[in-house]
Amino acid sequence: MGILEGKRILVTGVLTDSSIAFHIARLAQEQGATVVLTGYGRLGLVKRIAKRLPEEPPVLELDVTDDEHLASLADRVREHVDGLDGIVHSIGFTPQEALGGNFLNTEWDDVAKAMHTSTFSLKSLTTALLPLMDKGGSVVALDFDNSVSYPIYDWMGVAKSALTSTARYLARYVGDRNVRVNLVSAGPLSTMAARSIPGFETLAEHWPERAPLGWDVKDPEPAAKAAVALLSDWFPATTGEIVHVDGGFHSTGA
């Protein structure tokens, strides 16, 4: 019996089989969960990638900045499962104008898009699905260490800082429903999303030598395992927490 036996988990952000979200969905199924995926923009691609999972899950369209999509989400999920025990928030977007060293010149409209998609969506996704979590459950969001600044990450780093704070406040307000909210802060991984960041190699190049355990930018499984553990019942009294899965990079100095 797996640690997610009988659980019903919604996973966002599966775009390719190199994404952390894909491996979370795969491991969740291997651990006994029923999985529902959401995607947006390239739904055909998401459906093709879904066929590579151990069991092909349903794929629902979801734009987390669209109020109509969010309002109908719970009903659309109910067409496939009778409730949810877990939600995986693996959603992030920042316009190119807000990355790559353009921090001082970025316009508010671009910052607002980054914050809406990458940060506020954690709250809006969770509240849209709370009616399906009447027995409690676990929300896990994917983060990136934001205790310091990084070259080229710019406003996405600011959005991740806000995501951290959002998770803490969300944990405060849904705790009385027995819903936990935690973050997995992964090191840099060579996903499609990461490769879209100009200068990603600059961000990642020193990670393996600085991380006490080393770091493989091509291996999303350690982060996925942490997310699956947090989705399980093995962390019943943990909420508002950040679990770093980065080889220990965050804990080291120069």
- Determine if residue 91 is labeled as part of a ligand binding site: yes
Q: What pLDDT score was predicted for residue 1?
A: 83
Q: What pLDDT score was predicted for residue 152?
A: 87
Q: What pLDDT score was predicted for residue 196?
A: 65
Whole-model pTM over 0.85: yes
Vertex 130 angle, CA 132 and 174, to 5°? 140
* 6-247 CATH choice from 3.20.20.220, 3.40.50.720, 3.10.20.30, 3.40.190.10: 3.40.50.720
Q: What pLDDT score was predicted for residue 112?
A: 98
- Determine if residue 248 is labeled as part of a ligand binding site: no
CB 9 within 8 A of CB 76: no
Residues 46 and 82: their CA atoms lie apart, in Å, by 23
Q: What is the mean pLDDT of each run of 10 residues along the chain (254 residues)?
A: 96 94 98 97 93 98 97 98 98 92 96 98 98 97 91 93 98 98 93 67 80 93 98 98 96 80
Q: Which one from 160, 169, 173, 218 is the annotated catalytic residue?
A: 160
Structure-token pair, residue 188: 């840099």
Indicate if 160 belongs to the active site: yes
Q: What pLDDT score was predicted for residue 194?
A: 64
- Determine if residue 63 is labeled as part of a ligand binding site: yes
Domain residue spans of the chain: 6-247
- Determine if residue 160 is labeled as part of a ligand binding site: yes
Q: Which one from 51, 153, 169, 173 is the annotated catalytic residue?
A: 153
* Phi and psi torsions of 131, nearest 5°: -60, -20
Indicate if 153 belongs to the active site: yes
